[in-house]
A = this chain, B = another copy of it.
Amino acid sequence: MAGEVRQLDDRKLAVLRAIVQDYVGTEEPVGSKALVERHNLGVSPATVRNDMAALEEEGYIHQPHTSAGRIPTDKGYRLFVDRLAEVKPMSAPERRAIRHFLDGAVDLDDVVARTVRLLAQLTRQVAVVQYPSLTRSTVRHIELVALAPAKVMLVLITNTGRVEQRMVDCPGTVGETVLADLRTALNSRAAGRLLPDVPGLLEELPAMFEQADRPTVSTVLATLFETLAEQNEERIMLAGTANLTRFGHDFPLTIQPVLEALEEQVILLRLLGETNDAAMTVRIGRENAYEGLISTSVVSVGYGSGDESVAKLGVIGPTRMDYPGTMGAVRAVARYVGQILAES
A: residues with CB less than 8 A from B are 106-107, 140-141, 143, 145, 147, 153, 155, 157, 163, 165-167, 239-242, 244-245, 251-252, 255-256, 259-260, 262-263, 344
Contacts and interface: CB of A to CB of B under 8 A. Distances in A.
A244 B344 CA distance: 39
7 contacts: A143-B145, A153-B157, A155-B163, A242-B256, A242-B260, A245-B252, A251-B251
Contact of A242 (B141, B166, B259): B259
Nearest first, the 9 A-B pairs at minimum CB distance are A242-B259, A245-B256, A242-B260, A143-B145, A163-B165, A251-B251, A245-B252, A241-B259, A251-B252
Given A242-B259, A251-B251, A263-B239, A157 B140 contact: no
A259 B239 contact: no
A155 B252 CA distance: 46
Query: Number of copies of this chain in the oligomer?
Result: 2
Contacts of A165: 107, 157, 163
A183 to B, nearest CB: 9
Contacts of A107: 165-167
A111 to B, nearest CB: 13
Contacts of A143: 143, 145, 155
B141 A145 contact: yes
A153 B165 CA distance: 14
Contact of A259 (B140, B141, B155, B244): B244
A240 B263 CA distance: 7
Contacts of A260: 242
A255 B259 CA distance: 12
Contact of A157 (B145, B241, B244, B255): B145
A77 to B, nearest CB: 24
A161 to B, nearest CB: 8
A247 to B, nearest CB: 9
Contacts of A157: 145, 147, 153, 165
Nearest to A142: B145
A280 B259 CA distance: 29
Nearest to A230: B106
Contact of A147 (B141, B147, B259): B141
A241 B262 CA distance: 9
Nearest to A248: B252
Contacts of A153: 141, 157
Nearest to A244: B259
Contacts of A262: 241-242
Contacts of A167: 107, 344
A186 B252 CA distance: 55
Nearest to A258: B242
A147 B155 contact: no
Nearest to A257: B242
Nearest to A161: B167
Nearest to A245: B256
A127 to B, nearest CB: 11
Contacts of A245: 252, 255-256, 259
A262 B262 CA distance: 14
Given A141-B145, A143-B143, A263 B251 contact: no
A121 B321 CA distance: 32
A140 B146 CA distance: 11
